[in-house]
Amino acid sequence: MSIHDFPKDFIWGAATAAAQIEGAASEDGKGESVWDVFARQPGKIFGGHTPQTACDFYHRWRDDLALMKAAGLPAFRFSVSWPRVIPDGTGRVNARGLDFYDQLIDGLLDAGIRPFVTLFHWDLPQAIHDRGGWMEREIADWFANYTKVVTTKLGDRVKDWITFNEPAIFLGHGHRAGVHAPGLTLSEADVLRCVHHVNLAHGRATSVIRETVEDSRIGMAHVAYIAMPADPENPHSVEAARMATLEPEWTGDHRLFLSHTWWMDPVFKGRYPESLSQRHPQVIDEVIQDGDMEEISRSVDFNGFNYYFGRRISADGSVVDPAPGEPRTAFGWPIHPEGLYWGTRFFHEAYGRPQYVFENGLSSMDWVAVDEKVHDLMRIDFLTRYLKELHRAIGEGIPLKGWFHWSWMDNFEWADGYKERFGLVHVDYATQVRTAKDSLEWLAGIWKPTS
């Protein structure tokens, strides 16, 4: 079974996010995001790094597209920056910011690259946060209005839309643990309030996209915290892993929000887990209004998720401790290729929708060698292992539509600044020189058509 034998209509791509690559954080009328403000607080970001310049994609995108075209990149996932388009989050539209994405779309299509647009990848306008942010129900309307501005401008050419990227992370890490922007440590009940407002914003944005974009394809990109059976031959271990993947664990900290049931169940089943009413009945009574669940569960076209690593579960439901010397990435994350198979299987059995893997990759110890190349053999090995598991899932009839590498280029890795390198393209942040890594050439050999 070869990883070169994927279905002909399988979509290969690479992904990025506006705040991580664009830079130009205060140029051409862009408003501040919560990450712009958070990064200025001492001790919040590794090395005192900021997204002010990042990869300077805002100015260098044409050269970057030329590199994508040369590599034969089939699809490019990127996000629109809400504060670049609407600096105050509501009200006046910044024409220069919107024009940037307009030109980018044309450039991608001219290069034969299919655009996948994420509407929200964590860079909330600071002005919206100052008005209450995700704690306020009205944010669902503010997000829907922003969505209409973007889709009205770009929807004649962009058909693939992702409303939110990893709400479990920007709420769990940013509003519960306080380690990401905006750095809040809210109560569990208050974060659940935010969860509902994100889902409501997704539902309203979905309606807007349907109204403004003909033949649109819509979904979310969830973080996948997959539980894998420690003993795949034991049906009790498989069932324990399934339950651990699909049922919330009331951990008392930010990990609670990694449960897929806060996001996938409302969208695909029109309900929250039953345990919510037992643990936080006031959320049901005070936050969820009549008609909300119908609005949230309006039909979407796919289930998207991002996967890096998981956890192994024994037959009794306990987490199996890592083996001594277990392989880990430069970020310290364990390497769990089989989670890609189990995740797609569990999600298919639970929700039955076509699936996309919108992020998959690793941070590795990459540098430009003396021969002026980047020999990232460990990334090639990592991807080989993970793509084999994806191929296995497809072989069992699971409807996987595409896979996107995280990321296209090295970038600003949130609270870890520029320490971690996830890209297929190396970026020298002092000079902004790009160097294609060996992994890009390797992947190009997989996604380029053979005939």
Name the active-site residue from 22, 166, 389, 413.
166
- Phi-psi region at 48: left, alpha or beta (left = phi > 0; alpha = psi -120 to 50): left
Annotated catalytic residue: which of 32, 295, 338, 359? 359
Residue 286 annotated among the catalytic residues of the structure: no
Residue 413: active-site member: no
CB 357 within 8 A of CB 307: yes
Q: Which residues are the active-site residues?
A: 166, 359
